[in-house]
Amino acid sequence: MTESNRAPILSVSGLCKRFPLERGLLRSLTDWWRGNEPESVEALSQVDLQVFPQETVGILGESGSGKSTLARVLMGLYAPDAGRATFLERDLFASDPLIRLQNLRQMQMVFQDPFGSLDPRMTVRALLEEPLRVHRTFPRREWADRLVRGLAEVGLEPEALDRYPAEFSGGQRQRIGICRALILDPSLLIADEAVSALDVSVQAQILELLFRLKSVRQLSLLFISHDVAVVRQLADRILVLYQGRLVESLPADCLLQDATHPYTRRLLGAALELREAGQAVPEAAGMAVKDDGCPCRSLCRAFQPVCERRPVLEELHPGHRVACWRPTSL
């Protein structure tokens, strides 16, 4: 359900993030002396995306595709090198710390690792109160009530408040993580591989919880995952990231029939093989150091000289965009 007539709550354009490559001291000094730009890896390159109210946008990509970097840049954990983002009509990358704090109150994240993302020395109460203390949006007397209601919402008893993360299972910890992300009543939730560390049956429980809360609280969701099956089942729209670039954007309903980009098709092939015993797929390519061509040249069967130039996302059908010079010849 792409709601083209409504304004997006998050709108990102031209987002770039580079990380310097690790070099020896001598090499770095020579580079600096000669005025060479330090070599870097482009983790995100010209990423555009929009999230509409109550929409679930799935970001699909393998490790190294830049999907976690994207989440971290949006959350303000990394500063972007270029690009602009508007979130609820405010500048997401504003330098004013007050505006950033306001943005974060409306945008919260559920992390991948239910073990690493909760401080083992804090009780659940302390963990859940921390965002309330930082943001000061709700008066102190409301906290206790908020905590109990929040826990009930994710299916945990109030007794959990005085226990430590180590006393909970992975699934329960992820519930605590979700509760913590929702305690400030945000509008947008970023879930970065929120279920991939969990067993399949627990995964299903957490997904059900996440999507029930999403509809009850009318949240928008940016759901980041490497799992094609999960993203296809849950998202309204899917964006495919490859080596930091968006290569395809299409409605989730059309993924199986209409996916056009060779990389998307390759992901589908691998997932089909794992889930349904389908067909073979070629070996993955490594991370690219700055490069101006199509990132998929090495794995594409329809390679053309034009692919030495970088394709941009272009509309194939309404709602379906793909970054490929010859999408119809594939």
Partner 1 sequence: MLLQIADVSLTLRSSDGRCLPVLEQVSLDLDCGQCLGVAGESGSGKSVLALGLMGLLPRSSIAALEGTMIFQGRDLMRLAEAERRSLRGQALAMVFQEPMSAMNPLLTLEEQVGETVAAHVAGVSSSEIRRRVVQALKRSGFAEPERFLASYPHQLSGGMRQRAMLAMALVLEPQLIIADEPTTALDAALQVQLLKELRALVREQRHAMMFISHDLGVIRSIADRLAVMYAGVIVELGDVATVLERPAHPYTSALIRSMPRLVQERRLPQPIPGHLPHPDRKPAGCVFSDRCPRAQDLCRRERPSVSTLAGGQQVRCRFPEHD
Beta bridge partners of 246: 241
Q: Which is nearer to partner 1, 29 or 289 (CB)?
A: 289
Burial 155-179 (b: 16+ CB within 10 A, else e): ebeeebbeeebeebeebbbbbbbbb
Binding site for partner 1 (CB under 8 A): 62-63, 170, 199-205, 207-208, 211, 226-230, 232-234, 252-253, 256, 266-277, 280-284
Q: Which is nearer to partner 1, 98 or 277 (CB)?
A: 277
Q: Which is nearer to partner 1, 103 or 266 (CB)?
A: 266
Q: Which is nearer to partner 1, 257 or 329 (CB)?
A: 257
Type of residue at 18: R
| Alpha-carbon torsion angle 300, 14, 65, 206, nearest 10 | -120
Q: Which is nearer to partner 1, 136 or 275 (CB)?
A: 275
The per-type count for the chain, helices as H runs and strands as E runs, is 10, 12
Beta bridge partners of 281: none
Sign of the CA dihedral running 30, 33, 35, 38: positive
**In whole angstroms, how close is the CB of 58 to partner 1 at the nearest point?**
12
Q: Could you give phi then psi for residue 223, rounded to 5 degrees?
A: -105, 110
**In whole angstroms, how close is the CB of 93 to partner 1 at the nearest point?**
30
**In whole angstroms, how close is the CB of 310 to partner 1 at the nearest point?**
23
**In whole angstroms, how close is the CB of 67 to partner 1 at the nearest point?**
12
What is the distance between the terminal CA atoms of the chain, rounded to a whole angstrom? Answer: 27
**In whole angstroms, how close is the CB of 195 to partner 1 at the nearest point?**
9
